[in-house]
Structure 1
């Protein structure tokens, strides 16, 4: 074991020596903490020198009364994850690797809270922090860094009394969302991001085991962040609770600001949390608990990933394929990407596309 740790240490240090030297900074926010409407401010400084990589989070907000506080271990995990993303993927992960994660996270802040701070939503801060650290490193590693991902755990929890058995039940899952566009590829649609390892819960399994129906489960058209390489699409899941009342909790984010684009890409579509989408259509916040009457529908819609690169540089054929697959509307193709689709054939109208893109260039789009 000692030999393996020594080997890992040597490999990790050799990989870190390849990274560009310098200091890199970025800021960002969690939309709110759920108790107040004030954004949670996050500030990152990454210093790469001959000793390795230092993650300095001095300047992040003081810990909150609400449950968006990250523990030191959660924050350390975010930094370790980023470091692992930057080095050769066959480097083992053990003490020889973790020794190189140098972290400054002041006590009493949202990235290193002290007891008895609420932490159930600390993952919201931790996952967002990962995106911000990566964005800070974009000037140093432009080909490796994606645009912002969904950047939220997208937590869902509900419970009630099963009318079929009279037994209490509870349910919890985390929803997928869009990944950020990359320098050479689109962001994947509807995936877990940045260290999240929860799997998709199939509709059939949910409906067999719980007294509810999933009315809709689908990708959200036009939710991608437009870019030369677009962000991934967000996901929609509509829950209908049959013959019983439930307590429904959303612990998520991104309903105020969508995931940021990169290198000229646009932000991904914002998340939405909608009560009774076919009737009252009440938009709720990203951190809420609500009592739902029997047969009520709750529509949970996650955000899309940010786009990478200018949208007008996207391959028109890739845009046309997205339109044919129902991922991007023809109108959005024209407005965001400057690609005009012939409605009779579904193909790119070359002349109209060239004219539209000239118009966009003239307007600085």
Structure 2
């Protein structure tokens, strides 16, 4: 991200680009841990480094950085042992990008350090018989307000259709939301829960549990932070988001009160 922000796009990334930089990561720190420290979720601190670098560079090149985004590798897995064998479904979810000086953040897109695509629901229906997707869509009101708003997160719900299904997840952004820049508001938190009968069971960001037939497992990914003062957002942009169902009228009145009152 340093190269992208501080140099021209036509300069290729090579060894010479790295020579001016010195990285200090003391042995035993979070970024350079000692064995037997667990490192399976190593991308989570990597994303926080990305956020810290972007925030630092915002002081030198405010027009080239983005606000904090969902920026987490949400690894989501459902496994099932049946008479015919063991099957595992794994997907890596994205969320909302941070906004920039001229653009709203991208909605429900893979995180910056990942390279995974969206899996169509129809493909999941054909491939797996121990769950089905019952809801999938953008999460209204999840974007951080700003002159340019953050990207929206999304929600996806799975109904478990067999016994002996195990769920595992490691993610982030369940406690600290993506930060806005230059007066933009923070984005929104992620969360995960299981609906079982009349109960709703909250799930931690790093967790595993056994699921029962009939459970509905829902994941909500977070939205990105806004860029710039929300009072400077255009009325047309607010109206467009309301019309498209990305922003409810109630949230528009709350997040953009001066403009909504016009």
Q: TM-score, normalised by structure 2?
A: 0.94
Between the aligned partners of 2:111 and 2:30, the Cα distance in structure 1 is 21
2:106 counterpart residue number: 188
Between the aligned partners of 1:277 and 1:87, the Cα distance in structure 2 is 52
CA shift in 2, pair 1:92/1:277, >3 Å: farther
Structure 2 residue 46 is the aligned partner of structure 1 residue 117: no
Query: Secondary structure of the equivalent of 1:281?
Result: strand
4+ aligned runs moved over 3 Å, structure 1: 98-101
Between the aligned partners of 2:196 and 2:222, the Cα distance in structure 1 is 17
Question: Over residues 195-233 of structure 1, what are the superposed CA-to-partner deviations in whole Å (9 max), with x where a residue is unaligned?
Answer: 211111111111211122111110000000011100000
CA shift in 2, pair 1:169/1:101, >3 Å: farther
Between the aligned partners of 1:200 and 1:91, the Cα distance in structure 2 is 30
2:232 counterpart residue number: 313
Report how many residues are paired.
260
1:232 counterpart residue number: 151
User: Is the contact made by 2:197 and 2:215 (CA closer than 8 Å) also made in structure 1?
Assistant: no
Deviation at 1:244, TM superposition (A): 2.5
Structure 2 residue 202 is the aligned partner of structure 1 residue 293: no
Query: Secondary structure of the equivalent of 1:130?
Result: helix
Question: Which structure has the larger Rg over C-alpha atoms?
Answer: 1
1:238-257 aligned within 5 A = 238-257=157-176
1:146 counterpart residue number: 66
Q: Which runs of 5+ in 1 are unaligned?
A: 1-80, 341-351, 354-365
Which is further off, 241-250 or 258-267?
241-250
2:199 counterpart residue number: 280
Greater relative CO, 1 or 2 (CA 8 Å, sep 6+): 2
1:207 counterpart residue number: 125
Specify which of 79, 83, 87 is matched with residue 7 of structure 2. 87
Deviation at 1:130, TM superposition (A): 0.3
Q: TM-score, normalised by structure 1?
A: 0.68
Which is further off, 237-246 or 327-336?
237-246
